[in-house]
Chains A and B, each alone.
Chain A
Amino acid sequence: MFAKIRTWGPALALISPTIILLGIFVYGLIAQNVQISMTNQHTSLPRADFVGLDNYFRLFGDADFQHSLRNLLLLTVVFLAGTLIFGFLWAWILERPSFGEGFFRSVYLFPMAVSFIASGVVWRWLLSSLQTDQPGGERTTGLNRLLESIGLGFLQNSWWSDPNWGVAAIAVPAIWQLSGYVMALFLAGFRGIPDELREAARIDGCSEWKLYRHVIFPQLSPVMLSAVIIIGHMSLKLFDLIRAIVPDANTYDIQVPATMMWVKYIGSDYADSAAIGTIMLILVALVVVPYLVYTSRQEKR
């Protein structure tokens, strides 16, 4: 008994403050958030009655919330597809022995060092919705002006101000920022494949395409899965970039659950805000938990 305490005691004493603080400030606050989301505290009044899951049912039936979920889905799909395609492409180019690899690796990775808020301020200007052929077109800035000046004027569009597909434009700066990261993941994956495997395949008469199809791609799938999880959960909680690009939080076209939670909160609708927060937590858990289970099983094997 005493021996056990001597082995476990110091370690436990060392980590117990962390456990207690985590318990209070993470899990305790999550519990309080869930509790608030089950009350009818929709104004700044301190009055609060328990209403169970009413807020959740109402939110899922609410056209505005459905709109925000649809936006989130669109944003996630474009963001994921974009980062995977560009990340893979760059890694694939850099993977072959080529000139200036170190230089390009830094160039592609560099955007990740910039915070979403800082890059958002620049992208707000780049994604300006005014087009050169509209009234006031002489004030056009950013990408629309650039497209016009290189003779691709027909590609101009209203970017995130488009009521249906606008939120996909928010994914553009996000892709710019995180493709380099996905590239680094894939590059590490490529490097992890021993040269002997490729040599062996080539000696067996494998074409370049078949080499990739049957030897390299299968070995990259764990990397791909990590990339999907990381990018996917970043997209779910994407808030700072949207707030930096879109001046008014209460802009309907780009509403996603994260911004809607903020709008509800500043309007003192604490119950709805807490409910949206809980829904987001569950969405993130749906992405992350299966991955954690999968990796822990892999490690045990």
Chain B
Amino acid sequence: MRRVSLLASVAAAGLLLSACGGGSSVEEANPTEATGSVGVFTWWADGSEKVGLDALVDIFDEQYPDLTFDNLAVAGGAGSQAKSVLAANLKSGNPPDSFQAHAGAELQDYINADQLEDLSSFYEEAQLNEAFPQDLLDRLTVDGKIYSVPSNIHRANVVWANVEVLEEAGLDPNSPPADLDAWFADMDKIKESGTTPLAVAGTWTQVQLFENILLATLGAEAYSGLWDGTTDWRSPEVTKAIENYKKALSYTNSDRDTLSDWGPATQLVEDGAAAYNVMGDWAEAKFAQDGLKPGTDYVYFPTPGTDGVFDFLADSFTLPKGAPNPAGSKAWLTTISSVEGQQAFNAAKGSIPARTDVPSDEFGEYQQSAIEDFSSDTIVSSLAHGAAVPVAWLNELSTAVSKFGGPQDVAALQESAASIAEKFAQ
């Protein structure tokens, strides 16, 4: 016990010392004169995400040979582990030079807690206001200020399907169903042919499926209204949406809670054990890495009923208040917002660049179609990935969705979703 206490006191003393660091004015920090190391905090610890980060670091080393990159990645739990470590570090006054956060409502928590530097002047210097699409800038701007730099764009409303399974059930893989009812009819046929129609995994992937069904049933405008209070959670349309979700769940694998993450659910589609999987476009990187060919082995299409809508989330990087090396942070932000940085990172991660001026011919077939859709579609914010609502709201709604998986009580889910919305919406 004594030894543990001693260790703890040494650690505490270390925290106090490091909290006294920090220094020069952020406005004056000049990335071209930066030296030392830059600590960047992410949850990109393996898979396509790690490959993407490595590609980005290569560009960084090239652009800033005087700086060393310090990888502070924390693995696990789709970022939830990393976020709690980060929250503790920020609270104790020990921020990294830059950290990853989903653009949108998730960022709002850090802004409210006064933990982020305003990057508006950085946007002007680096001329990012012209490089990023206006829709994205609107979602990043809070009270006229911008606090983060997006590295990529993901789409959360994509269905990935196994061609062989669809053909066995007598369906044409090249003509995806137009709306939810047509999709359910297709899934009935797949069920008859003896395969699980829809693969889904643990709680957060169920929340993403729920979000897709809400979007498909309500349409883009009413879906966005759920998060700003203009759509009534108690309306009959929402009841209809939850009933659709219940129907969708009836087509899923019964061991969904046992699957550890999105990977195993997507694997079921790869193996032909399930026909469809609703997943973000990071699944594309998994299909590519496992050597499957788009068109012949698998097909993808927007979730039926959401054609023309881009359910968006973006990873972005910040400059925390009290960062030990603000000039280095700006150098990192410059790299991730540069054309070369966005190209290298996104080619590896399966996402698409946030900049509109990155040449698209270097990207794969899926990414090219996504780049096209992002420029023309209506954009809505993803619920499951922190773009639509703050973490606390998402967390409580996730509990309600997880609870629904057992008794499947439509009225109960609607009532708890409504009261959660009342609690958090201003």
Q: Are A44 and B87 in contact (CB under 8 A)?
A: yes
Minimal Cβ-Cβ distance residue in A for B8: A25
Cross-chain contact A129 with B258 (CB below 8 angstroms) = yes
| Binary A-proximity of B124-137 (CB < 8 A = 1, otherwise 0) | 00000000000000
Asked if B254 contacts A130 (CB within 8 A), the reply is yes
Within 8 A of A (CB), among B75-106: 77, 80, 83-84, 87
Q: How far is the CB of B395 from chain A (nearest CB, A)?
A: 3
Q: Which chain B positions have C-beta within 8 A of A45? A: 109, 112-113
Q: Determine whether A247 belongs to the interface, using a CB cutoff of 8 Å to chain B.
A: yes
- Residues of chain B with a CB closer than 8 A to A124's CB: 258, 260
Q: Is B1 an interface residue when CB atoms closer than 8 A count as contact?
A: yes
Is A248 touching B402 in the complex (CB atoms < 8 A)?
yes
Q: Does A119 contact B (CB under 8 A)?
A: no
Q: How far is the CA of A145 from the CA of B129 in the complex (A)?
A: 58
Complex: how many Å from CA A17 to CA B5? 9
Number of interface residues of B (CB under 8 A): 48
B390 at the interface (CB under 8 A from A): yes
**Residue on A with the closest CB to B204?**
A248
Separation of A264 and B396 alpha carbons in the complex (Å): 9
Interface SS, A side: loop
Sort chain A's interface into a size bin: 35 or more
Task: Decide if A135 touches B195 in the complex (CB within 8 Å).
Answer: yes
B-binding segment of A187-195, A216-224, A250-258: A250-258
Q: Which residue of B lies closest to A127 (CB)?
A: B258
Interface check B238, CB cutoff 8 A:
no
Among candidates A44, A136, A252, A253, residue contacting B112 with C-beta atoms closer than 8 Å: A44
Partner of B395, one of A134, A253, A266: A266
Secondary structure type dominating chain B contacts: helix
Knowing A135-B191, A161-B258, A269-B395, the reply to whether A44 touches B109 (Cβ < 8 A) is yes
Please name the residue on chain A nearest to B393 by beta carbon.
A267
Q: Could you list which residues of chain A lie within 8 angstroms of chain B, going by C-beta atoms?
A: 17-18, 21-22, 25, 42-46, 64, 124, 127-131, 134-136, 138-139, 158, 160-161, 163-164, 246-253, 255, 263-269
User: Could you list some 23 contacts between A and B, CB below 8 A?
Assistant: A17-B5, A17-B6, A21-B6, A64-B403, A127-B258, A131-B254, A134-B254, A135-B191, A135-B196, A136-B274, A158-B254, A163-B406, A164-B406, A248-B203, A250-B203, A251-B202, A251-B203, A253-B257, A253-B402, A253-B405, A266-B395, A267-B396, A268-B109
Q: B-side interface residues toward A, CB under 8 Å?
A: 1-2, 5-6, 8-9, 77, 80, 83-84, 87, 109-110, 112-114, 191, 194-196, 201-204, 253-255, 257-261, 268, 273-274, 390-392, 394-396, 398-399, 402-403, 405-407
